[in-house]
Structure 1
């Protein structure tokens, strides 16, 4: 297998519990941007670190900060810094989509509360107020506003971490949310297209999936995906990925807008993503393909991935399903649907009998705040 070394600032790292890890080391916290960037640069220069797989927006951003000392192979796998910024910063992403004629939800980019309230009348309610990036603002997620009063309450500037204040030099509007129309019945029509693109721009692997459940229910991360071979969203996503000069692992999220009978792109993740285990289980081992490409190998395009496979974020999925059955309405139908899911073949975000220790550590983290886990589903 691939020799993997991990670095963590936590005393107990979920990944560090894995039996597949060759070595675990300490590093500065990623929340201390200046210190972490200096540490990463030093390790890259000395050769202590050879390759870094981008597994979060923040890690990918830090790689652009040390781009000049990355190996040519790493630079080729990441793509041009400008193309990376185009997808890490969502205001730039939507502007690029408009320029390339890709359909997006109607989006506004106000830089004050007064401007947001003035512009909101041009959109259709409800409206989503969401971060322009997760760089410097942490894990803040979008909030749904159903009227002008709710928008006034949620449209507040994000607190920029002091260590990341330097980002405002190039992105001064980062502290303000962006506004976007909410596509009705989004959850029933949300597609994820993922894969990997070689440094020369060729598509090595691609697959589609449909998001079935998410947490929190209105706007949140997926808890259940099912494999999909629907050609139209895959074709659109590939045109978006190549148009935005993506390289390496990617995931593109699209919604089928029933009212306008078209697919709308809502996000691009230019990195490893939460449900990547589904790609691996279907035959597209994206981390392994990334490693081979980063080592300079020529990797032929993969055949169509296997179907009839689900991915599950087990803890929030089961909590949400059981609360839905308890709350009603339609308890019998909800129970039948839950049973059907349990009968189907699936892989989990982390839980596997082949490597149980990370599963236990991950579950312990998930249950640290059980009230918050339950509240989102109980409120609906």
Structure 2
């Protein structure tokens, strides 16, 4: 936990966590509440119900129970946000918790700016970056390496790609919003054969997916850059390693380590300068050890779920940098704090056990450390961890009893 106060932070300007889609167990949003709330900023949040982990945080000043699916008319969502702004009653910094929220805030900034302070990003840019196909094109124009990728127009072309490139392949949902409304995969997914591909996508004539080449796990290091690009061109850039993920090798970070990497920081900063990006971003990279190149696989125009892994030695993370910039305050220049780690509780334990089983070795990096930032458990904010434990247990129970419930219905 960071010592306070954060230099220059304006505690008279509240912040609102904006969410689109149902993600009640999203730990990144809780990190936003704790980051700014610990610094004395009044915090508000959109929540799915009154008992989500974020909704019971001690750092929450006010909650708006406003469940969404991503299928709503954007104008309806804008009206909801404007009502929230009026209820808060003063200009508020909006923090996007997901790609869809980032797209919504950017594309309707002209209306939302009545109540909300927002980064001055081009309205169309977050949607292009959140699109896997759009990102691939942007990287091609900017000279940034990516894994070989394509967006098949129909099922026949998808099958042809598999036969031409060979297996395994990696599939991702193609666009923001469609991943909520009509997802083809639940997360980045490795496909090992044509039969597996057809079992997953065969029901759709036009599956909305991006196909990427598979880079073998043993030939890669997984890196991340989290950064904030200010309106005056100032950048705060952090780099780190993804040590484990859930699901293993393809999902969200379950354990990460902050590792300064000047080469990667410059690469990410250059890309954002080149495209004129403003705001918070979370970029995922693969270091392909076969050619020594960093290859960009995702550009998320919003907070990353593990953003609390990263701080400067003065205690500034990307959310605090956003608040400082949008309230007209200077972002103090300082080096990245080294050696910090981040873990997502029981999910990291599952990942460690699964990885150890797959690699036939004992689990590693399980012991607690002084510089470990936990996604849920916190001595000064214990209720979210309790709420998450209840929901996690319910999820496990439903999955374990799913076969039995199917047989009973049959």
TM-score (norm 2): 0.77
5 Å matches for 1:269-348?
A: 269-280=300-311, 283-300=315-332, 302-322=333-353, 327=357, 330-331=360-361, 334-335=362-363, 337-338=364-365, 341-343=367-369, 345-348=371-374
2:175 corresponds to 1:143: no
SS at match of 1:243: helix
Aligned residue in 2 for 1:367: 393
Q: Is the 8 A contact 2:85 2:116 kept in 1?
A: no
Matches within 5 A, 1:221-300: 221-280=252-311, 283-300=315-332
Residue matched to 1:2: 41
Tell me the equivalent position of 1:24.
63
* Matched residue, 1:40: 81
CA contact (8 A) 2:312 2:336 kept: no
Q: What is the aligned-residue RMSD (CA, Å)?
A: 3.0
SS of equivalent to 1:33: coil
Q: Distance in 2 between matches of 1:267 and 1:94?
A: 9
d(CA) in 1 for partners of 2:115 and 2:83? 18
Does the 8 Å CA contact 1:73/1:296 hold for their aligned counterparts? no
Q: 1:28 to 1:73 in 2, by over 3 A?
A: closer
For 1:268-317, what per-residue CA distance to the aligned partner results, in whole angstroms no more than 9, with x for missing partners? 111111111111486332222211211122324x3111212211011111
Match of 2:51 in 1: 12
How far apart, CA to CA, are the structure 2 residues paired with 1:74 and 1:187? 45
Deviation readout 1:134-158 (Å, 9 max, x if unpaired)? 4132273222112322222223578
Is contact 1:213–1:223 with CA below 8 Å preserved after alignment? yes
Contiguous gaps of at least 5 residues in structure 2? 1-39, 401-410
Whether contact under 8 Å (2:78, 2:112) holds in the other structure is no
Residues 1:131 and 1:2: Cα distance change in structure 2 (over 3 Å): same
The 1-side partners of 2:311 and 2:399 are apart by 28
Structure 2 SS opposite 1:342: coil
In 2: Cα distance, 1:272 partner to 1:194 partner: 8
The answer on whether the counterparts of 2:106 and 2:122 sit within 8 Å (CA) in structure 1 is no
Look up the SS of the partner of 2:49 in the other structure: coil
Aligned equivalents of 1:120 and 1:251: distance in 2? 29
Q: Secondary structure at 1:51's aligned position in 2? A: strand
Please say if residues 156 and 176 of structure 1, whose CA atoms lie closer than 8 Å, have aligned partners that are also in contact.
no
Secondary structure in structure 2 of the residue aligned to 1:366: helix
After superposition, give the CA deviation of every residue in 1:86-130 in whole Å (9 maximum; x if it has no partner): 212121111111111111111111121111112333424311111
Match of 1:163? none
Whether contact under 8 Å (1:45, 1:69) holds in the other structure is no
Partner of 2:216: 184
Q: Flag structure 1 segments of 5+ consecutive residues without an equivalent.
A: 160-172, 375-380
> 1 CA distance for matches of 2:199 and 2:290?
29
